[in-house]
A and B are shown apart, each in its own frame.
Chain A
Amino acid sequence: MSDTPKIRLRGVTKRFGDKLVLDGIDLDVAPQTSMVVIGGSGSGKSVLLKCILGLIAPDSGTIEIDGQDVLRMPHKARDAARARIGMLFQNGALFDSISVAENVAFGLLAQKKATRAEARIRAEEVLAQVGLAASVGDLAPAELSGGMQKRVALARAIAASPDILFFDEPTTGLDPIMGAVIDGLITEQVKRMGSTAIAITHDMASARRIGDRAAMIHKGRIVWEGPAESLMDSGNPMVDQFTHGRRDGPIQMELRR
């Protein structure tokens, strides 16, 4: 493991109107490791990923990839840095106006890494890696089941062999067996490509399967960080309450009674 983290966040802050969504996030992800981020709904996990991806500009703080501050790079360099990140969106976000194969090959064609014919062959390879037959490539995304859509979305995220992968709730909405299959595919692909990964999840079984390290966000801050195996017995009362799904504890749900 080298000294520079692959991804380094320092004091990342984001505010939407009056609401402070990220309140000074510090996070390091070492190269070729997987970081799992847990936290309640609305704790700012998705916004964090979108900040690193450049979809949302943080109000302050620095985001470094390979030691380079992406927020202060020239446009071209920033686009190049971000082209190396693959993202699996929560609901897949497959383009429904084009076929599955075109979805998978989309990034390759956009980055001009392949001709149309090469991209088609590569799409079939990647579909095979996520356990889908080449014939699936001709279908429209709407014709697939939820589990298959997730697999296609995973295939699209890894098609250009990115060295960083983000997963936003990869197993949400899937049955436990399909969840385990997706987790298996994710760990397999991350290991095979030697990628660095950040995964957001609510699913503790999934978190321990995917992650090397884990961090918990609460109210826009990182409240705990440690090895993913210790999630269930971290000794941190907030993490314990979250991972065991207890109603009472240091985290009070803001409910009106």
Chain B
Amino acid sequence: MNTLLNAVAALGRGALSACEATGRVTLFAVLGLSHILRPPFYGRAFGRAMLEIGYLSLPVVALTAVFTGMVLALQSSTGLSRFAVESAIPSLVVLSITRELGPVLGGLMVAGRVGAAMAAEIGTMRVTDQIDALTTLSTNPLKYLVAPRLLAGIIALPLLVVVADILGVMGGFIIGVAKLGFNPYIYLQNTFNALYAEDVISGLVKASVFGFVITLMGCYHGYHSRGGAQGVGAATTAAVVTSSVLILALDYVLTELFFTK
């Protein structure tokens, strides 16, 4: 009987703390977003965040996209050749990349690169009193540290995904033409025939949401880190894990919203 009660109590505690954490994150997100709209604006902090999230993530996102496109073409050719529909390869590649793999894999790569760095930087600022120092110097840390990063995440990720879409299709094109014997014209024609604006747009909307989630988790965990180097390490891990899981979960939710009618 006692064991049963303990188990129920543990479940209840877990549920309560999950609700509490969700509430705290939501409040943090609302505050951070509201500071994007209210002056003063920190243009230089925003520029730095754009550089960090957008420009410096280009190589890793580009490589991911090219290889994903190549693998997609290769794998689908073995599968589709059984049904003698190899001609579907270009459309399969372009739809998979623009709808799913561009935003999701790009998001995951950026979560590992930027989310971790953000949590570590803000976490170190927290444990070395720099965040308190901001407050004593008449600067709201949410406005100075969090809002520019959230905005940069929302804007930079779609831009990265545009690049990833193009390079992903290019990866498929390379394999299609060089290895699977496609005529280059026909490959591109098939690609563009299969593609509609909503495929790309839905991917970019996803990317924007993922950019928000990545920066939110990086800022939130960094901002609330405690207890020196170990605390900052834990914050970094938590930022990457929570943002990765949220990306995959939200990807499902958004796909439901966009494509099931």
The interface-forming segment of A82-90, A121-129, A186-194 is A82-90
Residues 87-141 of A contacting B (Cβ, < 8 Å): 87, 89-91, 93-97, 106-107, 110-111
- Please, which residue of chain B has its CB at the minimum distance from the CB of A95? B130
Q: Does B256 contact A (CB under 8 A)?
A: no
List the A side residues contacting B132 at CB < 8 Å: 50, 53, 55, 89, 93
A110 touching B136, Cβ below 8 Å: no
Choose one: B48, B121, B133, B138; the contact of A93 (CB below 8 Å).
B133
CB-based nearest A residue for B48: A97
Verify if B135 is at the interface (C-beta below 8 Å from A): yes
A198 to chain B, nearest CB (A): 13
Closest B residue, CB atoms, query A159: B137
Compute how far the CA of A85 lies from the CA of B138 in the bound complex, rounded to whole angstroms. Answer: 10
**Minimum C-beta distance from B157 to chain A (A):** 22
B138 touches A107 (CB 8 A): yes
> Which single member of A50, A91, A97, A156 contacts B137 (CB below 8 Å)?
A156
In the complex, A4→B250 CA distance in Å?
Answer: 59
A: interface residue count bin:
20 to 34
Q: Is B255 an interface residue (CB 8 A)?
A: no
Cα distance, A217 to B136, chains bound together (Å): 24
Task: Please give, as numbers and ranges, the residues of chain A lying within 8 Å of B139 by CB-CB distance.
Answer: 106, 110
Contact A53-B137, Cβ < 8 Å, known A89-B129, A90-B129, A95-B130: no
In the bound complex, CA of A53 to CA of B137 (Å): 11
Inter-subunit contact B135/A93 (CB<8 Å): no
A256–B134 Cα distance when bound, in Å, is 39
Contact B137 A110 (CB under 8 A): yes
| A195 CB, min distance to chain B CBs, angstroms | 15
Q: Tell whether B128 is near chain A: CB-to-CB under 8 Å.
A: yes
B107-128 contacts to A (CB < 8 Å): 121, 125, 128
Contacts of B136 in A (CB 8 A): 53, 55, 82, 85-87
Q: Nearest B residue to A153 by beta-carbon distance? A: B133
- Provide the residues of chain B in CB contact with A86, threshold 8 Å: 136
| A79 at the B interface (CB under 8 A) | yes
A146 interfacial contact with B, CB 8 Å = no
Closest residue of B by beta carbon distance from A96: B130
Q: In residues 122-174 of chain B, which contact A (Cβ within 8 Å)?
A: 125, 128-130, 132-139
A54 interface hit (Cβ, 8 Å):
yes
Partner of B138, one of A50, A55, A83, A89: A83
Enumerate chain A residues within 8 angstroms of B128, measured Cβ to Cβ: 91, 93
Task: Report how far A94 CA is from B124 CA in the complex, Å.
Answer: 12
CB distance from B117 to the nearest CB of A (A): 12
- Quick one: given A89-B129, A93-B128, are A54 and B137 in contact (CB under 8 Å)? no
In the complex, A87→B135 CA distance in Å?
10
Which chain A residue has the least Cβ–Cβ distance from B44?
Answer: A98
Interface centre among B121, B133, B134 (most CB of A within 10 A): B133
A85 contact set on B, CB distance < 8 A: 136
Residues on the A chain within 8 Å of B133, using CB: 87, 89, 93-95
- Cross-interface CB contact of B135 among A54, A90, A94, A95, cutoff 8 Å: A54
Give 12 A-B contacts (CB < 8 Å), ordered by A residue: A53-B136, A55-B136, A87-B136, A89-B129, A89-B132, A93-B130, A93-B132, A94-B133, A95-B133, A95-B134, A110-B139, A156-B137
Q: Which of A's residues lie within 8 Å of B, judged by CB?
A: 50, 53-55, 79, 82-83, 85-87, 89-91, 93-97, 106-107, 110-111, 156
Q: Contact residues of B with A, CB < 8 Å?
A: 48, 121, 125, 128-130, 132-139
Q: 8 tightest CB-CB pairs across the interface, nearest first?
A: A93-B129, A107-B137, A93-B133, A87-B136, A110-B138, A110-B139, A89-B129, A83-B138
